[in-house]
Amino acid sequence: MQDELCCNSNFEAIGSTRMTGHYPAATKSDIQFGRQLKMIKIHGRKTSANVQPVIWCLDELGVDYERLDVGGPFGGTDTPEFLGMNPLGLVPVLEEDGQAISEAVTILRYLMRRFGGHPSDPMAAAQIEKWADMSRQHIYVPLIPTIFIQMVRVTAEDRNGAAVAQAEAALKQAMAIFEANIKGPFFGGDALNLVDYQVGGLLYRYYELDFDRADLPQLKAYYDRLCERKAYQENIMIDFSAMKVPGA
């Protein structure tokens, strides 16, 4: 899907750049081998459901970055420079030291491995990553490309009710499974991990949209805990009403 959503042209600009946090101190090996920590750039508008988990993660990890408004009403995804970083022309793209990474889950994996204490043991890492991959397919796909688009970017008259109903049923099942596997304050226990950023980053839209949701009290309590976090408030809890087309 091109740039995840196609915003209306009068959507309010959030600001062209953003910097926050700090890099962890360079390690002894960084100094020994002359490696320098470069400023990370995130290409993508702050209202994108794919960009939001990435900048939330960066803020939670305390990593300096610059965000560039790209995509939606800002355009810029069809330039030779951007297509050189992501031939699909989609946001987000992470740019660092002359290299680029696309795909939100891939970027989150990179950030967690580099800054966030992602397990070094392959099996332990795979146990987390399987949930991130499953949630992308079974939570993100019915929620954003179907329910969100149909409720926000399509008029009520033109809405595909059958597609929404099918997505609602799939989402109820997936969210019930997710809720049953929450292990503590956060998905994996006491600390945020890759899955929290992937799924938690979608929950504001999940709860703000008016559709048929399952009654999942533990999921709601999990969401309420995320809502208490400053970085979550600043990066995820962003009003999307201006993205609605007339008659939606």
What is the structure's pLDDT at 227? 99
Candidates 2.60.40.1080, 3.90.1150.10, 3.10.20.30, 3.40.30.10; CATH matching 28-115: 3.40.30.10
Encoding tokens for residue 25? 């101190």
Tokens 């991130």: give the residue. 132
What is the structure's pLDDT at 26? 33
64 by Cβ neighbours in 10 Å (0-12 / 13-18 / 19+) ranks as: middle
**Same fold for the domain at 28-115 and the one at 122-243?**
no
Predicted TM-score of the model (pTM): 0.86
What is the structure's pLDDT at 38? 74
Structural domain spans, the chain: 28-115, 122-243
Per-residue pLDDT of the chain (248 residues; tens, 9 = 90+): 444 444 333 333 334 444 444 334 333 333 233 344 579 999 999 999 999 999 999 999 999 999 999 999 999 999 999 999 999 999 999 999 999 999 999 999 999 999 988 999 999 999 999 999 999 999 999 999 999 999 999 999 999 999 999 999 999 999 999 999 999 999 999 999 999 999 999 999 999 999 999 999 999 999 999 999 999 999 999 999 999 999 99
DSSP-derived secondary structure letter, 146: I
What is the structure's pLDDT at 27? 38
What is the structure's pLDDT at 37? 59
235 Cβ neighbours under 8 A, 6+ residues apart: 46, 52, 55, 56, 59
213 Cβ neighbours under 8 A, 6+ residues apart: 168, 171, 172, 175, 206, 207
Query: What is the fold of 122-243?
Result: Glutathione S-transferase Yfyf (Class Pi); Chain A, domain 2 (1.20.1050)
**Separation in Å, CA 31 to CA 28, 36, 97, 116:** 5, 8, 17, 21
DSSP-derived secondary structure letter, 190: S
